[in-house]
Amino acid sequence: AGHLPGAIHIELGALPGRVDDLPREPTVVMCGHGERAMGAASLLERAGHRQLTVLEGGPDDWAQATGRTLETGA
């Protein structure tokens, strides 16, 4: 249905090869429902990323909680 504004989409399976593409700044990790995000945060932490937060739920939960709309397109 969409993604959070400013989000960078990386599939979990591609993440190990892309950890150096991500900025080293506070990061929120999320997936459609929350399960894969914990694994992604663990991979990022092992690669030296810090200040990671896992979003509980998914994009629709974020939109409902914040009252903001999801973006569509690239």
Instruction: Read off the pLDDT of residues 2-33 as tens digits, 9 standing for 90 and up.
Output: 889 989 999 999 999 999 999 999 999 999 88
Residue 13 lies in a domain: no
Beta bridge partners of 28: 53
Q: Quick check: is 11 in a domain? A: no
45 domain-assigned: yes
**9 within a domain of the structure (yes/no):** no
pTM of this structure? 0.83
Following DSSP, what letter does each residue of 5-70 receive, concatenated? TT-----GGGGGGTGGGS-SS-EEE--SSSHHHHHHHHHHHHTT--SEEEPSS-HHHHHHHH-PPP
In-domain check, residue 47? yes
- Give the residue numbers spanning the domain of 28: 21-55
Structural domains in the chain (count): 1
The pLDDT score that the predictor gives to residue 74 is: 66
